[in-house]
Amino acid sequence: MFDYIPEDALLFIDESHVTVSQIGAMYKGDRSRKENLVNYGFRLPSAMNNRPMKFEEWERIKPKTIYVSATPALYELEHSEQVVEQVVRPTGLIDPEIEIRPVLTQVDDVLSEITKRREKDERVLITTLTKRMSEDLTSYLKEYGVKVAYLHSDIDTVERMEIIHELRTGKYDVLVGINLLREGLDMPEVSLVAIFDADKEGFLRSERSLIQTIGRAARHLNGKAILYADRITPSMQKAIDETERRRDKQIAFNLEHNITPKGARRSITDKIDTGESLDANDNQAIPVKSNLPDVDINILRSPDLLAKEIKRLEKQMQQMSRDLKFEEAAKTRDKVLELKAHLS
């Protein structure tokens, strides 16, 4: 692709702290896989010649590049001639206030914070370190009548979009998960991010991860982040210092230009985010012509039923593949694609 880009092109790399490393991973991942195949005689040594570009090769041919990231990695900072910050927001919103509280009472404490947010019709994100803790916390909160959903890796894209939609519309007040750094979680209704075991060093509690997670509450006027920790780790301190630095700059900018912060507003679209706003007429029956004779017409009229039918067929397709029924799996796949076309 880069062979066809003109010399005076400008390349933008979004989320560069993740994307740049993936460019290098293409070659390394491909080579690691093929080395095993060649070493055990499943492929000829010449198979190694068909490969992606090395990172160094990509660096030589890439045009002028702008790296875009809220938390740039060392590579971007070291290889950039100029760093331009975009800290202030048009809405005047400032980064969330950060508070540190003890781990011992984190569950009961977050329950009281959830109660405060529910009274104001605000949402809460809670991030934990283990799947077991997420499950136990979700069960505990449900016992106290909290409308809570648990987001985990086994949830597919369609169901994930449903959960996010239901959190925004108020079916859920709280979302519990392990990795809340993924896309789609920048919701203006979220006013509190609670980070359990923030003092446990690791990937999900690194400086960049903490800054990204704290930023999930940055779209709300009353945004706040609570870090539950018994000690302040170097990563925590760096994340706190960086957030405070941004807050100071944002507050000073607002005062200088007489800006009053306003909460970010984004209309709640349909569950797969096609951009169409929901209204009171969405539940009315809409005539739908079906080219699928074995699919109930009522399923095609309801986005909820349609999403569930897609999930059911996808599981059925995977089971057929495991049973080596590839022709039936292919037919089911085609049916899934047609149903997904109705969603869009």
Q: Which domains does the chain have, with CATH numbers?
A: 2-79 (no CATH), 97-256 (3.40.50.300), 282-343 (no CATH)
pLDDT at 342: 73
3-state DSSP assignment of residue 10: strand
Percent of the chain with pLDDT strictly greater than 90: 53
291, pLDDT greater than 80: no
Rg (CA), the chain: 24
- Give me the DSSP letters along 250-304: HHHHHHHTTPPP-------B-TT--SPBP-GGGGS------S-TTS-HHHHH-HH
pLDDT digits (tens, 9 = 90+) for 115-131: 999 999 999 999 999 98
Residues 217 and 17: their CA atoms lie apart, in Å, by 21
Position with higher pLDDT, 301 vs 60: 60
14-23, 93-102, 310-319: which range is least confident on average? Answer: 310-319
pLDDT digits (tens, 9 = 90+) for 157-214: 778 888 888 898 899 999 999 887 665 567 889 999 999 999 999 888 999 899 989 9
89-93, 182-186, 269-273: which range is least confident on average? Answer: 269-273
pLDDT at 295: 58
- CA-wise closest residue to 103 among 5, 205, 182, 200: 200
**Alpha-carbon torsion 241, 242, 247, 252, what sign?**
positive
275, pLDDT greater than 50: no
Over residues 49-64, the mean pLDDT reads 93
231, pLDDT greater than 70: yes
* Position 284 confidence tier, pLDDT thresholds 50, 70, 90: very low
* Position 289 confidence tier, pLDDT thresholds 50, 70, 90: very low
Over residues 10-22, the mean pLDDT reads 92
286, pLDDT greater than 50: no
* Position 279 confidence tier, pLDDT thresholds 50, 70, 90: very low
Helix H or strand E segment including 126: strand 123-127
290, pLDDT greater than 50: no
109, pLDDT greater than 60: yes
74, pLDDT greater than 60: yes
* Position 302 confidence tier, pLDDT thresholds 50, 70, 90: confident
* Position 326 confidence tier, pLDDT thresholds 50, 70, 90: confident
Over residues 314-336, the mean pLDDT reads 83
Percent of the chain with pLDDT strictly greater than 70: 87
* Position 285 confidence tier, pLDDT thresholds 50, 70, 90: very low
234, pLDDT greater than 90: yes
- CA-wise closest residue to 268 among 183, 147, 151, 187: 187
pLDDT at 276: 47
Contact 266, 141 (CB under 8 A): no
Contact 306, 300 (CB under 8 A): yes
Over residues 83-106, the mean pLDDT reads 92
Position with higher pLDDT, 324 vs 255: 255
Residue 102, token pair as written in the block: 């003890």
* Position 299 confidence tier, pLDDT thresholds 50, 70, 90: low
